[in-house]
Structure 1
């Protein structure tokens, strides 16, 4: 899942981005409110992490602008001011929740998970494709109840394929959903990660070429017979 992090404290932004990446999210980081607004207009995010005190456009104003323009993406505010007035202002502006600095990472990640669950209640709790199962809430992948050990990128690729069923995904679509816009990979890198994922699925006993290549178009999960 893709998360927009709007935070002008570079050290904190790097720490939060690393923590989010470790949890299999794809974080995009910008450092001011206007850049956050520009990003939100061109990329569909699953959640926005938004600092209140930002240059150019503060977090409360950005939150209000997003909501007034019809954006329903969950918004989690990060505020340095632990007063009821600031919390009320943020919630009134359309934020769904907030955390107070200094940020407690386990608490923040728990709130992120809660908001993502709330925003995707129509999604199945466990994704299945034949004997392959992926649980987004625990990041566990099994084939015929045997666990698979995947890297974060391999997990994200498999989740993307399983959420899209028989739909063919181009490399550009895969890159958009699995990699940060700040560090887009080469097509060879995408191919290498898919090859590694295929090998692990094959070792686990899945049918050959479970992820099939559609020539000159992209990749998809092989339809179940």
Structure 2
């Protein structure tokens, strides 16, 4: 089992991302500031690190530099809201292997983690490439983000944000989730923004479910939220 270090000072985001990574089968240590992150790096061995740039105590850039100064070649993915070329260059020059700007879609982060682990031989490639989720007449290839109806044989590709929302609904099939719950789970880095995005992306997903000819439905429950159900059962 690959062990990851996540250093992120926004506690709700850190908890949500860590939980998503654990669902993927990773062991995850979480630190909420730069100093505790530095201590973890010195004391433990990790297969990959995910470091926020702006941290209390010391920055993610400083942690990346420290990691390389220690002679460690552990893959590092930097997370930041900064989008300028200079900021990215600084992060990469400090020793980071990849750079992901906020807001990001969870499937993209997971794909980048897999890519870094694969690069250093810390990932079971077969397991990563063959992960498929099924529900009712749907088959979803998580790696390629391809959604297929097993009855019609029709398939379509989901976007990163559609995939994050679909996986959240799938993880909680037949349970009603509020828009806040869906947004927090699917896009943990986007707290307090894009309030209507859940409604918009549910609409996108409904169109794709109809396109492939699935009986699965995303239903709005007035005053409560949304639920993923097999329409054959109703």
- Compute the TM-score of the two structures, normalised by the length of structure 1: 0.56
- In structure 2, the gaps of 5 or more residues are 22-27, 51-63, 77-94, 100-110
Residues 13, 188 of structure 2: 8 Å contact kept: no
- Following superposition, the deviation at residue 198 of structure 1 comes to 0.6
Return the TM-score normalized by structure 2.
0.54
Whole-Å Cα distance in 2 between the matches of residues 156 and 40 of structure 1?
15
- The answer to whether residue 115 in structure 2 is matched with residue 110 in structure 1 is yes
More divergent stretch after superposition (74-83 vs 157-166):
74-83
2:132 to 120, 126, 136: 126
Q: Pick one of 82, 95, 99 that aligns with 2:75.
A: 99
Aligned pairs, number: 172
Matched, 1:174 2:182: yes
Aligned partners of 1:211 and 1:222 also within 8 Å: yes
Gaps of 5+ in 1: 7-29, 68-73, 88-96
Residue of structure 1 aligned with 2:141, choices 135, 138, 142: 135
What's the counterpart of residue 77 of structure 1? 49
Shift of 1:173: 0.9
The CA distance in 1 between the partners of 2:202 and 2:146, in whole Å, is: 18
CA distance in 2, matches of 1:149, 1:194: 15
Match of 1:201 in 2: 209
Instruction: Say whether the 8 Å CA contact 2:114–2:123 is kept in structure 1.
Output: no
Quote the Cα distance in structure 2 between the aligned partners of 1:211 and 1:117: 33
CA gap 1:205/1:178 in 2 versus in 1, 3 angstroms: same
Alpha-carbon distance in 2 for matches of 1:162, 1:39: 21
Change (3 A) 1:160 1:56: closer
The question of 1:211 aligning with 2:218 is answered yes
Contact 1:212–1:220 under 8 Å retained in 2 = yes
The answer to whether the 8 A contact 1:50-1:75 is kept is no
Match of 2:37 in 1: 59
SS for the counterpart of 1:187 is: coil
Q: Is the 8 A contact 1:175 1:185 kept in 2?
A: no
Relative to 1, partners in 2 of residues 1:158 and 1:4: Cα closer, same or farther, differing over 3 Å?
farther
Verify: 1:159 aligned to 2:176, yes or no: no
